[in-house]
Amino acid sequence: MADKRGYLPETPEEITAKWLSGALGATVSNVQQQALGDGKGFMGDVLRLDIDTDDSRLPRSLVAKLPKKANRVFGELLGVYEREIMFFREFGGSLPIRAPKLWFSEFDRDKGSEKQEEILRSLDRMPKFLGSAIGVIGTFIAARKKRRYMLLIEFFQDMQPGDQLAGLEPARCAQVLRSIAPLHQKYWQAPQLDGHFWLLPLDIDARIRHGMFLQHADRYGTVLGERVASHLDWLRDHGEALMRTFFADAPVTLLHCDLRLDNVVFGADECGFIDFQLVRKGPAAYDVAYFMTSAMREDASADDEETALRAYHEALAVPQYAYADFKRDYQRALMVVLAGLAGADDVEFGNERGENMMAAWMRRLTARAANVDPADLKLGKQ
C-alpha cells in the first residue's frame, strides 16, 4: 500500500500535511517545502520538508524525492526511482557509511522492471547497428509508463553539501575516498549482492552503452578537445571490450555509481553520502575514478592524484587486492567513465549552474584521462 489514502503524490504540491500523516503514521499538522540544490536533482525533485508534529519519534525535517517532469522519461528508462527505493529498503539498515535513514518509500510495481536483468542481457546480445532502434523503443515504452514513486529519508541537518562546481582540494578528495572505502570493503565479493532484480552488474549493458558512445562521439570530441582525441578514437574500437575486461578482471562490490561531489555531504570530521539512484555491482575502482574526474580540480598534479589513490587503497584494506591491481583497474575505469559521459548532454540541467558544473566536469575528466595510455590497458587476451 502507498498509504491509508491509497495514492502517492506525483508533484511537490501534493505532498500535504494530511498525506504525510498517513505515510508516517503520525499526525503532521503543517509542512513547509524548500527545493534542495541548484541544478543538482537532474532526475527528480528533491525537497526539504519541515514538519510540525507532536510525535517525538519523528524528525522535524525530512527529504522527499519524486520524479522530475523534465527528465522523467530518462529516469524511467534508467530505472533510477525504483532502484533507490529498493536500495534503501534492502541495504539501508546495514550500511557502514553515513547515509540517510529511510522513513517512507513506495512505488508502483512493474513486472517488466522486475525482469530488467533478463531483458538487458537479451538486448545486449543484439547487433550494434540496432542500438538506435533499441533506444527509440525503450524511450517510447518509458514515456508511456505512469508509475508513481515516493521516498522520504533523513535530512542531514548537521552536514553541508559538497559543491561539484567548485571542486575539492586533493586532501579533501582523499577524505571522501577513505569514507566510501568501508562500503566497498563490506560488500567485497559478497554473496549478498546476488538475487536483487534492481542491482545490476556494471557491464550488463556494455554493448548498448558503447552504441550510445558511438552516437555521441563526434560531438563529444569537440567538447573535450585535442587532449583526449586519441583516447576517443581508441574507445571507438575498444570501448565494449574495455568494459567486459574491466568487469571480468576486477573484484566485484557494491557501487554508489554516481559518486560525485554533489552527492557528498560534509560534517566536522566525517563525510556522508546521498543519492543512490544509480547503484550497481562492479569494480570498486569505478566509483574512485568517477569521483576523481568530477571532484579533483584540473590543476591537481599527478602526485596529488597518486596520494588520494593510495589513501583510498589503504582504507579499503583488502589484503588480496594489491595496489598495482587497483591502479590498473583505476586507469581502465577512467576510460570507462570517459566513454560513459558522452551522452551527458541529453540530460536537461535546468539552469546555468548545472551547465557550468558539467563544463567543469569535462575539464577535470580530460585532465585525469589524458594521463592514461590506452595501449597499457591490456584488454582480454591482448
pLDDT in tens, the chain (382 residues): 344 436 789 889 999 999 999 999 999 999 999 998 654 455 678 999 999 999 999 999 999 998 876 555 555 667 788 999 999 999 999 999 999 999 999 988 777 677 666 666 666 666 655 555 445 444 444 444 568 889 999 999 989 999 999 999 999 999 999 999 999 999 999 999 999 999 999 988 888 889 889 989 999 999 999 999 999 999 999 999 999 999 999 999 999 999 999 999 999 889 999 999 999 999 999 999 999 999 999 999 999 999 999 999 999 999 999 999 999 999 999 999 999 999 876 666 667 888 899 899 999 999 999 999 998 998 864 4
Question: Crossing angle of helices 116-124/206-224, nearest 10°?
Answer: 70
Gap between the Cα atoms of 246 and 336, Å rounded: 9
pLDDT of residue 217: 93
Please report, as a single letter, which amino acid is at residue 117: E
Burial of residue 21 (CB within 10 Å: 0-12, 13-18, 19+) is: buried
Q: How far apart, in Å, are the Cα atoms of 57 and each of 22, 66, 68, 183, 322?
A: 15, 24, 30, 28, 46
Grid coordinates in use for 216? 555521441
Please report, as a single letter, which amino acid is at residue 264: V
Gap between the Cα atoms of 117 and 205, Å rounded: 9
Gap between the Cα atoms of 17 and 32, Å rounded: 9
pLDDT of residue 140: 41
pLDDT of residue 372: 95
pLDDT of residue 7: 79
Contact predicate 212/343, CB 8 Å: yes
Pairing status of strand 160-161 against strand 61-67? unpaired
Range list of H helices, the chain: 17-24, 72-78, 80-90, 116-124, 131-144, 170-186, 206-224, 229-249, 284-295, 302-316, 323-340, 352-369
Gap between the Cα atoms of 296 and 166, Å rounded: 10
Please report, for the chain, the start and end positions of each structural domain, with discontinuous segments joined by +: 12-108+146-154, 160-376
Q: For 57, which DSSP code?
A: T
CA nearest neighbour of 223 among 372, 363, 350: 363
pLDDT of residue 10: 86
Radius of gyration of the chain (CA): 21
CATH of region 12-108+146-154, choose from 1.10.10.10, 3.30.1330.10, 3.40.50.720, 3.30.200.20: 3.30.200.20
- The residue behind cell 557509511 is 97
Q: Return the CATH class of domain 160-376.
A: alpha beta
Contact predicate 267/252, CB 8 Å: no
The contacts of residue 65 (CB under 8 Å, 6+ apart) are: 41, 44, 45, 46, 47, 81, 84, 149, 150, 151, 152, 153
- State how far Cα 223 lies from the chain centre: 22
